[in-house]
Amino acid sequence: MFDTLQDRLAATFKNLRGKGRITEADIDTTTREIRRALLEADVALAVVKDFISAIRERAQSAELSGALNPAQQIIKIVNEELINVLGGETRTIRFAKRPPTVILLAGLQGAGKTTLAGKLAYWLKEQGHSPLLVAADLQRPNAVDQLQVVGQRAGVQVFAPEPGSGVGDPVKVARDSIGEAERKLYDVVIVDTAGRLGVDTELMQQASAIRDAVNPDETLFVVNAMIGQDAVNTANAFAEGVGFDGVVLTQLDGDARGGAALSIAKATGKPIMFASNGEKVGDFDLFHPDRMASRILGMGDMLTLIEQAEKTFDAEQSAKAAAKLTSKGGGEFGLSDFLQQMQMVRKMGPLSKIFGMLPGMGEMKDQIAGIDEKEVDRIEAIIHSMTPAERDNPKIIDGSRRARIARGSGVEVSAVNSLVTRFFEARKVMSQLANGKGMPGMPGMPGLPGAAKRPAAKQGKKNKRGKKVSGNPAKRAAAAKGQDQQAVDPAAAFGAGMDQEQLEQAIKDFQLPPGLGKMINNQGK
């Protein structure tokens, strides 16, 4: 959603790098570009004016003049002001002292209230609560059925005494749900109300009547993050007609310009409490203004990434894998362990989303967006086509085994070659990192921290004429008969017949994603 804004801000800050002093003209140029970027992102004009004014005032103050790196100081100011615009601090639900806690969802039709109700219930269930969903949207056709399906996916109960589709009294359903929760000991009640295609008197009256009937502890305004500045107008109308305590953004993973997210908290004075960013029931979490600001500025979101990893990864399996990597040069870490770790990573979400949370990946958005998720499926198919012995010790995979694996997984033999080669290199890198040796040297990437030339003794032997002689007896015999070196079966590169020259070439062919080597070099300086 924020890709365009992120690119514009990155280009603006790039012009400041390398300057020892920021002049008044630099501040004017920077704030002008930021203003344009925000307006193009469909941020409300009043919010943009206040934001730019705050940045200009702080940039011109003594706060900037004493900075060792003025460009970084301006980025720091923009980051802090973005956090302020997005609400300042993370706020979660205020639970009632005496259960049940009642949460009322309000918003226009199409904002995603029903789906979000299930996601919120699922999130609360993970937090140790016992939620009850209430089908009080009796106006929209099949809204009750949809909530029951969503509740089933979330694994929570749904209170739906009326069929809906224009039949039943939503105020009575909402009132009766409190008694149902008290009898069956549900500690949270989530009331899904009806919406309209636009703000009207009937919608406000019904929402107000339900609010008065259940006296909610939290009233959440649900808004689609893709509707831009109109989200502010709708939010102000609901604030006057019904009132709400916090905002929930849906479809935050969409391709809109993000104006709603950057406008609504500042314009309404109410915090953004939750964000929905996917189709799955678990694609929902607390909204953290500081983390969102960090993403917008291209600095990643490591805290969210770590939290997702903690939820997904099996601690015992990860500890065993780490132990294998630290022992015997990582030789005990096999393809079965690699497959387990890869499957746990996939549970965290799409790979493009995961890589997007890493710092410094803003310049690689095109490569990240081009990640083929099906390639991971092919890797899984190749590994599943191996025997347990081959997974534990890939070195035994010779030519015939390789051909059998390719047939079993429906891929070309070259795909098996590539997987095993890359696995050996990845294991080598992970083993050195696990043993605290830092990033190992990569041929073809000069200046990489930890890079070192191989000892001459391991570069291969030379004959009396100064020509290199292979350490592989079979290859020496083939060379003596005048055969081309390519006549040697390439499968030997994955077995005991692999010589040093082939290993060196395999390493040289190993390529990191474009730009990643440069990023690592810059971080190592």
Residue list, annotated binding site = 107-114, 192-196
Looking up tokens 């958005």 gives: 365
Distances (CA, A) of 170 to 86, 162, 164, 477, 495: 34, 9, 9, 87, 71
Q: Tell me if residue 222 falls in helix, strand or coil.
A: strand
Q: Residues 236, 237, 238, 240: is their CA dihedral positive or negative?
A: positive
Annotation: binding site for GTP: 107-114, 192-196
Rounded Cα distance, 114 and 139, in Å: 13
Query: Could you write out the DSSP letters of every residue in 78-133?
Result: HHHHHHHHTTSS-------SSSPEEEEEE--TTS-HHHHHHHHHHHHHHTT--EEE
Residue 42: burial class (beta carbons within 10 Å; 0-12, 13-18, 19+)? buried
Q: Are 263 and 44 in contact (CB under 8 A)?
A: yes
Q: Tell me if residue 519 falls in helix, strand or coil.
A: helix
Rounded Cα distance, 502 and 508, in Å: 10
Exposure letters 429-446 (e unless 16+ CB within 10 A, then b): ebbbebeeeebbbbeebe
Residue 44: burial class (beta carbons within 10 Å; 0-12, 13-18, 19+)? buried
Helix extents (H) in 106-253: 113-126, 143-154, 170-184, 201-214, 230-241
Both tokens assigned to 309: 């990893």
What is the rounded radius of gyration, in angstroms, for the C-alpha atoms of the chain? 29
Both tokens assigned to 248: 């929930």
Q: Are 368 and 356 in contact (CB under 8 A)?
A: yes
Kindly give, in sequence order, each residue whose CB lies less than 8 Å from that of residue 425, ignoring residues fewer than 6 positions away: 506, 507, 510
Specify the DSSP element, H or E, that contains 358. none
Distances (CA, A) of 299 to 131, 275, 294, 395: 36, 19, 5, 40
Distances (CA, A) of 225 to 20, 54, 218, 237, 281: 39, 25, 20, 17, 18
Pairing between strand 272-276 and 246-250?
parallel
Distances (CA, A) of 389 to 1, 44, 395: 46, 62, 10
Distances (CA, A) of 479 to 139, 167, 354, 370, 486: 83, 87, 48, 43, 10
